[in-house]
Structure 1
């Protein structure tokens, strides 16, 4: 029988009570989420610590008057280029004809590791041709000029460069709630019913 959220939280509190612990939580967006969670972490002055990451600095400032905030710096331009090369070419060197345009793409990521990683995935899945990289650079610059603080353009750019047969599969993921477990077999079966993949492909996917 599956436990509800409250029962699970109470069990967490009981398991931590009286013990020294380190809790690491990733991507806390809102202070209300932290306020809901913190009561389940007992504080008995035994040296326990809680570490969480957030894209919103205000969350850390409101979390606790004793909270120590460590603001991570943006990547340097040279670090963006190094990361992009490593993600796209692995251990190989970037072809000389792509170096200049590659550095331009890295520069347009404005030091954001997420931006570099997503763009690298796009570049890794297209031919290593200059005109194709120029197209990616042009699209990236266009999106950034619209709103440099909005990362949705990265997802749009990634989607636009997906193979045609994968686009409906990607969009179908929107039928599942955020942060919920996604049953793989059910998803594959739904894809088959919708005609996105063939029965033979379903069997191959299920063996993976």
Structure 2
């Protein structure tokens, strides 16, 4: 179907129905204008929620809700849920201190918290300070975006070399495209990234 056939079918399906739609990551105003057409005559109690990183799109859609950073308590909950199943470290003040330093640099950004927590899962808590130092944070605590990039970059460079190659291979697929697992694995095998015998054993 083209855009307008899809819009007409969606309008027919939604007649008289209450609904809530959530659409993630709208990139431009034109896309929003097309999507909006499908919901012009909707039930008055229905809701359409979109997420976007583009201010102009959010302004056009109206009713902007700016995401706030996680509170210190929620940052801790997310961090400890990933690192040790929700159980905080009760051993020494040193561990609490390095956790606080890490969370301060994450600035309440869930992506940064979950990424660095994933880095620490397989490491002894005594080594957390080494990871913190290795990331090379700046002295300014306000540089949350820069710190998030450093965490993501470090998590990539911390991977074994063969996994880096497999991860970079994914860049050949268009954004948001469906990637069939078995097909991807055999592409890795054919390019020599993964030994074929591993596939036969799994």
Q: TM-score range by the shorter chain?
A: 0.7 to 0.9
Using the alignment, how far apart are the partners of 2:179 and 2:3 within structure 1? 18
**2:137 paired with 1:103:** no
CA contact 1:88–1:121 (8 Å) conserved in 2: yes
Which of 62, 67, 74 is matched with 1:79 structurally? 74
Residues 92 and 200 (structure 1), Cα distance of their counterparts in 2 relative to 1, 3 Å cut = farther
Q: 1:46 to 1:73 in 2, by over 3 A?
A: closer
Q: Secondary structure in 2 aligned to 1:149?
A: helix
Offset of residue 143 of structure 1: 10
Within the candidate set 178, 182, 187, 2:184 is matched to: 187
Q: Distance in 1 between matches of 2:27 and 2:112?
A: 19
Query: Which TM-score applies when normalising by structure 2?
Result: 0.81
Please say which of residues 142-151 and 23-32 is displaced more in the overlay.
142-151
TM-fit CA distance, 1:51: 1.4
Long gaps (5+) in structure 2 = none
Determine whether 1:171 maps to 2:168.
yes
Superposition RMSD on alpha carbons, in Å?
Answer: 2.8
* Distance in structure 2 (CA, Å) of the matches to 1:122 and 1:8: 43
- Aligned twin of 1:43: 41
Aligned length: 198
Does the CA contact (< 8 Å) of 2:7 and 2:37 recur in 1?
no
Question: Can you list the C-alpha shifts for 1:142-176, whole angstroms capped at 9, x where unaligned?
Answer: 49889643543333122012123311111111111
Residue 16 of structure 1 deviates from its aligned partner by 1.9
Q: Which residue of 2 aligns with 1:149?
A: 145
